[in-house]
Structure 1
Amino acid sequence: MIMLIRQFQAQRMHAPRDFQSISPEPICVEIGAGKGKHALLFTRNNPERQLIAIERTREKFLAMQKQHALEGQSNLQTVHADALPWVVHALYPAQVEQFFILYPNPEPHNPAQRWANMPFFEFLISRLQTGGTITLASNIPEYIDEAEQQMKALWKLPYVKEVIPQDSARTHFEIKYLERGELCQQLIITKPEGYSTRFDEFQPLHGQNATAAE
């Protein structure tokens, strides 16, 4: 089933509490970083890349923050916020090299809140560089199948569908699911050259528009 969606109302997003703006340099972003296992691993293995890891749940964020303090990667910034308003207020058009959305809430009772079905997904694409990628991983085959259909029919984005190896250990959820013998899959979605959205000129709300949005 193809879900038809309304346009995302970015200008209505209030800034997260204690929001701090960022510079417009190229970055990677992980949404729903949990306790930070993937974020810490990624920044350790890719010292030349900057990653911002966003987590909404306070307990998980504090666990990530604590581990980051122990490991000390200078190329990792942790953020305690809801991802949608943070992205709208912080990120510049075509700034992001990679988005990671690993094992998001499958929203079994609210399909409209799944990432590929959300109006916000168009805004997310607008923040992605040409050739940049979104990695969307799940242990629920129906979730991946639906997202795959949305890439084809609604967003018209190229992607690669992969089975995640049994020895992968990027997140605590991934380890648990693979140990239980569940099928974990991911879509690597790419923004092709010439791809346009309705938000390509939309600048971060942290500047002159932030006051009006609050």
Structure 2
Amino acid sequence: MTFNHQFSRLFQLDKIQPPRDFLPMSSDFWQINVNNICLEIGAGKGKHALQFAKNNPNFQLIAIERTEQKFVAMQKVANAETFANLTVIHADAVAWAVHGVPKQSLAQIFILYPNPEPHNPNQRWLNMPFFEFLLSRLQPNGKITLASNIADYIDEAYQKSVDIWQLPTLKSQVPTDSERTHFEVKYLARGETCWQLDITKPSDYCTRFDDV
């Protein structure tokens, strides 16, 4: 199956330069860990990344954070814990994914409490042409987990996922005792409701980047 291309601009791969000081993962990394590699976009200070690495020793997690201050905090904790299944990256996630992630290589992608981009909705993840490329890096039956405390953001993302990207999508409320990220802890402590989308890529799903 494929989505309706007329509703999505084609992502311009040739416009994306490699991140500064880009060091790709080795080919052995992708081959040895096939079917067990996950990506976290906007990992912040690494709270979820560390929890995931600890609780899922059979999976490799690549945690990317663009903001230097947050990345340094995550790197410090990651170095202290020395999890062999966690790699932290300081880079823009779009550029790093374009130049560093092979097609159909990721079992799961986490996007937890992203910037809602209130003044630029086109920069929301499911509104971006890049999202098609990101789907091409996901394995068949792979999953994307998106969480936010903003109901309108989640509702829009759900609509885009189902109607535009034509992906099986489940919407659920985050348990009030969940502690995956610092944002999640803060929002739930204030009594806010947090929401999650679990998006699955069907085994026969096609994108325009499957051969790239």
In the alignment of these two chains, the number of paired residues is 200
Q: Which whole-Å deviations, capped at 9, do the CAs of 1:80-138 have from their partners, x for residues lacking one?
A: 00000100000011000000000000000111000110000000000000010000000
How far 1:186 moved relative to its partner? Answer: 0.6
Q: What is the DSSP-based 3-state SS (H/G/I as helix, E as strand, rest coil) of the residue aligned with 2:126?
A: helix
How far 1:153 moved relative to its partner? Answer: 1.1
- Match of 2:156, as an amino acid? E
TM-score (norm 1): 0.91
Q: 2:138 aligns with which of 113, 128, 133?
A: 128
TM-score (norm 2): 0.92
Q: Distance in 2 between matches of 1:59 and 1:90?
A: 23
- Of 56-65 and 13-22, the range deviating more from structure 2: 13-22
Q: 1:70 aligns with which of 75, 80, 91?
A: 80
Residue aligning to 2:54: 44
Could you tell me which runs of 5 or more consecutive residues in structure 1 were left unpaired when the two chains were aligned: 203-214
Residue aligning to 2:199: 189
Structure 2 residue 162 is matched with structure 1 residue 159: no
Q: Distance in 2 between matches of 1:170 and 1:152?
A: 26
- Match of 2:157, as an amino acid? A
RMSD of Structure 2 on Structure 1 (CA): 1.1
Structure 1 outlier segments of 4+, above 6 Å? none
Structure 2 residue 182 is matched with structure 1 residue 179: no
Q: 2:113 aligns with which of 98, 103, 110?
A: 103
Could you tell me which runs of 5 or more consecutive residues in structure 2 were left unpaired when the two chains were aligned: 1-5
Q: Distance in 1 between matches of 2:118 and 2:168?
A: 26
Same amino acid, percent of matched pairs: 61
Q: Distance in 1 between matches of 2:7 and 2:200?
A: 21
Q: Which whole-Å deviations, capped at 9, do the CAs of 1:141-183 have from their partners, x for residues lacking one?
A: 0000000000111100001111000000000000000001111
- Once the two structures are superposed, the pairs formed by residues 77-88 of structure 1 within 5 Å of their partners are 77-88=87-98
Q: Distance in 2 between matches of 1:10 and 1:61?
A: 26
Residue aligning to 2:3: none
How far 1:5 moved relative to its partner? Answer: 3.4
